[in-house]
């Protein structure tokens, strides 16, 4: 897959990392404890919900996800890193970019840009495409992109089981080993709408029905723009796999059905077959984490690659949506060996190695974590509460204390 007017080598995702906390709660247990209707769990499609621990925030999630990528770089590769871009809607600072903390924690060269991107759940893809453009302009360079998000649980609502936390890190480079991104023919579709807002870190203003309608509208609109820019693009036939922003898997199932009916057209059993073959692989990781906002589309992309039936030359169609709203549909190509590279990142092992919490433990830990995960003038995190369980030997970044709003972080190896 080469854009018609692209020059130079392909650019895209060369290495990946992720971190989704050390603990989770079973969504069925959460339904029961909150008195929610169990019959709605299947439509939600969530299996596990990642849970925050004391001392975790967007910086610690991002740094822990990105650390293995940076550790794997040679000195020359690290010197060639020209930007660190963080996408988040959970920042605790209205001015300073989260990437500045990341830059220091990862000991990165001073000859690189650091900045932050925000546009709800679209932010991760916006950061990715920005990085692709930077590397296309300078193919010898590399850019580190990290999407990191978390939120206070909407306790007792049907939204709570779908919420999550975590970070996805991708290294963008020329001649990538995992995904070649078609930057030129990406389709966009955006307009202002009040479906979701976060005026304060502890306030989410949500219009679920409006958000659903906007998501569907943007899927159709962004694909139509993409098809106009890429001759012959067909939603039902051009892509071996599809990855979409996944607030919860049930929403992706409905969006896929709508898109096939209007863009395919496909109906009946053909829709189910197409979903199982092209979309289901992208949900294997998100259903274990929950909605991680700016990082969710990137996680769905990695899930699709990891569970693809084959990789060499396979095409991936990607849809990203961010409330408010902005959206994009673009295509990627998987080089040979892409699945093995994602598998080597250990995302599956990390997810299966997390600790299962009871709902009572989850409530206590999230209440404690909420006191420090956003902006606070002063705080000290209890060292004994920072870890629940995790893979041995993997460094974890944690918040140690805050003094006068200045936050101090440290690395802790697992015992």
DSSP result, 291-345? B-GGGHHHHHHHHHHHT-S--TTEEEEEEEEETTTEEEEEEEEEPTTHHHHHHHT
Measure the CA–CA gap between 15 and 144, rounded to whole angstroms. Answer: 10
CB 183 within 8 A of CB 132: yes
Output the CA torsion 232→233→235→236 (10° steps): 40
CB 147 within 8 A of CB 88: yes
CB 85 within 8 A of CB 130: yes
CA distances from 320 to 9, 199, 293 (A): 25, 22, 10
As annotated, the active-site residues are 89, 121, 245
Which pairing describes strands 179-181 and 378-380: parallel, antiparallel, or unpaired?
unpaired
Which pairing describes strands 81-87 and 113-117: parallel, antiparallel, or unpaired?
parallel
Helix and strand counts by DSSP (H, E) for the chain: 13, 18
Measure the CA–CA gap between 341 and 361, rounded to whole angstroms. Answer: 35
CA-derived radius of gyration, the chain: 20
| CB-CB neighbours of 335 under 10 Å | 18
Backbone angles phi, psi at 412, to 5 degrees: -130, 120
CB 168 within 8 A of CB 295: yes
- Starting at the edge strand that comes first in sequence, how are the strands of the sheet with 48-51 ordered? 48-51, 23-26, 355-357
């Amino acid at each position: 897959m080469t854009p018609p007017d692209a020059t130079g080598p392909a650019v895209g995702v060369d290495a990946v990392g992720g971190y989704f906390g050390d603990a989770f709660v079973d969504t069925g247990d959460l339904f029961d404890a909150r008195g929610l209707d169990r019959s709605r769990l299947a439509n939600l499609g969530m299996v596990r919900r990642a849970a925050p621990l004391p001392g975790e925030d967007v910086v610690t999630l991002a740094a822990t996800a990105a650390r293995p990528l940076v550790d794997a770089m040679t000195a020359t590769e690290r010197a060639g890193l020209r930007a660190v871009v963080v996408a988040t809607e959970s920042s605790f600072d209205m001015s300073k970019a989260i990437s500045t903390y990341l830059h220091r924690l990862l000991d990165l060269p001073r000859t690189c840009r650091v900045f932050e991107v925000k546009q709800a759940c679209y932010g991760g893809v916006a950061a990715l495409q920005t990085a692709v453009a930077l590397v296309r302009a300078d193919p010898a360079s590399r850019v580190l992109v990290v999407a990191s998000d978390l939120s206070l649980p909407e306790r007792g609502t049907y939204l709570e089981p779908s919420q999550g936390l975590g970070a996805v890190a991708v290294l963008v480079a020329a001649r990538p080993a995992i995904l070649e991104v078609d930057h030129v023919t990406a389709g966009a579709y955006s307009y202002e709408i009040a479906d979701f807002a976060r005026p304060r870190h502890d306030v989410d203003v949500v219009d679920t029905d409006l958000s659903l309608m906007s998501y569907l509208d943007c899927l159709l609109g962004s694909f139509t723009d993409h098809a106009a820019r890429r001759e012959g693009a067909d939603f039902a036939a051009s892509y071996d796999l599809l990855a979409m922003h996944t607030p919860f898997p049930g929403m992706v199932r409905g969006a896929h059905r709508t898109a096939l009916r209007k863009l395919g057209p496909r109906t009946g059993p053909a829709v189910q077959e197409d979903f199982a073959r092209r979309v289901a692989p992208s949900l294997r990781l998100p259903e274990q984490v929950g909605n991680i906002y700016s990082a969710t589309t990137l996680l769905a992309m990695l899930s699709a690659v990891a569970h693809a039936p084959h990789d060499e030359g396979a095409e991936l169609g990607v849809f990203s949506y961010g409330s408010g709203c902005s959206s994009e549909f673009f295509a990627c190509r998987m080089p040979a060996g892409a699945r093995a590279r994602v598998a080597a990142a250990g995302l599956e092992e990390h997810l299966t190695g997390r600790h299962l919490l009871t709902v009572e433990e989850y409530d206590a830990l999230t209440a404690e974590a909420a006191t420090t995960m956003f902006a606070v003038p002063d705080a000290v995190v209890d060292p004994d509460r920072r870890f629940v369980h995790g893979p041995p030997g993997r460094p974890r970044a944690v918040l140690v204390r805050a003094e006068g709003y200045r936050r101090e972080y440290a690395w802790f190896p697992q015992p």
